[in-house]
C-alpha cells in the first residue's frame, strides 16, 4: 500500500497553488474569507486521512468528519455572505475542487487518485473560466490563475507518480521542488508570451480564446516535459 500513496510535498503544494489560483479570481472580501475558512477546514481533513493510513481509525474519523463539516460550513458561509450570482460561480466550483484534490492525495480511494485529481483540477479551472466569462478578474489575474490550475494539476500528478514509483516514504523533496520550479518557470514563460500579445494588441482574439491557447500550449508543454 505504501507504494500507492501520493508524495506529501507535491500534494500539499498542489492544494496550496490551487487555493492561490482560486484567490486570484475570488477577489471580494466575502470570497477571500470563504476560501480562507475552506483552507483551515482542509487541514484536519488531510490529517484525518493521514491517520487513517496509519491505522488510527477513531481519531481519523473524528478529524475527517471535522474537516468535511468545515468545508460544508465554508460553502454555507459563502452562500450567506456572497449575494452576487457571478461571485458565486467564480468561487463554488473551485472550493469543491480543493476538497476533491485533498481526497485524491489522501487518498480516499486507492487506484482512483488520477480520476479525482482530474476532477478537482477541472473544477478549479471552471472557476477561472467563469471569472473570465463574467469579467470578474483582470487579464493578468486570469492568466496567472489559469497557469496556477495547470500547475496544481501537474503537482498532483507528480505526487501520484512518485507514490507509485518509489513510495511515499522515499526522500524525494529535491526532485519534487526541482520539478515544481521547472513547471512554474514554463508557466511563467507562457504567461509572459500571452501578456505580450495582449499588450501589443496585434490580434483580434478575445481573452477567452487567448486563455484557451495558453492552456492548450501549457498542457502540451507539460505533457512533453513529463
Give the pLDDT mean for 118-141: 84
In this predicted structure, what is the pLDDT of residue 203? 52
In this predicted structure, what is the pLDDT of residue 100? 94
Residues contacting residue 84 through CB under 8 Å, at least 6 positions apart: none
Average pLDDT, the chain: 83
Percent of the chain with pLDDT over 90: 32
Confidence tier at 1 by pLDDT (50, 70, 90):
very low
In this predicted structure, what is the pLDDT of residue 16? 94
CA-CA distance, 206 to 139, in Å (whole number)?
A: 11
CA-CA distance, 34 to 63, in Å (whole number)?
A: 20
Which of 82-96, 127-141, 191-205 has the weakest average pLDDT?
191-205
Give the pLDDT mean for 38-65: 90
Has residue 77 got a pLDDT over 70? yes
Q: Which tens digits make up the pLDDT trace of 164-223?
A: 888 666 778 888 899 888 888 888 887 787 777 667 665 555 655 556 556 655 665 555
Residues contacting residue 165 through CB under 8 Å, at least 6 positions apart: 3
Q: Which residue has the cell 476532477?
A: 119
Q: pTM of this prediction?
A: 0.84
Residues contacting residue 18 through CB under 8 Å, at least 6 positions apart: 94, 97, 98, 101, 120, 121, 124, 148, 149, 152
In this predicted structure, what is the pLDDT of residue 62? 94
Confidence tier at 120 by pLDDT (50, 70, 90):
very high
CA-CA distance, 204 to 125, in Å (whole number)?
A: 24
Amino acid at each position: 500500500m505504501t507504494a500507492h500513496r501520493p508524495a506529501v510535498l507535491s500534494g500539499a503544494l498542489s492544494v496550496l497553488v490551487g487555493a492561490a489560483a482560486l484567490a486570484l479570481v475570488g477577489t471580494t472580501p466575502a470570497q477571500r474569507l470563504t476560501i480562507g475558512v475552506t483552507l483551515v477546514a482542509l487541514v484536519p481533513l488531510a490529517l484525518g486521512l493521514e491517520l487513517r493510513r496509519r491505522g488510527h481509525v477513531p481519531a481519523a474519523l473524528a478529524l475527517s468528519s471535522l474537516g468535511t463539516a468545515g468545508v460544508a460550513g465554508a460553502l454555507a458561509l459563502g452562500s450567506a455572505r456572497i449575494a452576487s450570482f457571478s461571485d458565486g460561480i467564480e468561487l463554488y466550483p473551485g472550493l469543491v475542487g480543493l476538497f476533491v484534490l485533498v481526497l485524491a492525495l489522501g487518498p480516499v480511494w486507492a487506484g482512483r487518485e488520477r480520476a479525482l485529481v482530474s476532477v478537482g483540477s477541472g473544477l478549479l479551472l471552471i472557476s477561472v473560466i467563469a471569472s473570465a466569462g463574467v469579467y470578474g478578474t483582470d487579464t493578468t489575474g486570469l492568466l496567472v490563475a489559469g497557469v496556477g490550475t495547470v500547475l496544481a494539476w501537474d503537482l498532483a500528478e507528480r505526487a501520484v507518480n512518485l507514490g507509485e514509483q518509489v513510495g511515499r516514504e522515499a526522500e524525494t523533496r529535491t526532485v519534487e521542488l526541482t520539478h515544481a520550479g521547472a513547471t512554474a518557470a514554463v508557466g511563467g514563460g507562457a504567461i509572459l508570451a500571452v501578456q505580450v500579445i495582449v499588450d501589443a494588441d496585434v490580434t483580434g482574439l478575445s481573452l477567452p480564446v487567448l486563455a484557451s491557447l495558453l492552456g492548450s500550449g501549457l498542457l502540451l508543454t507539460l505533457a512533453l516535459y513529463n
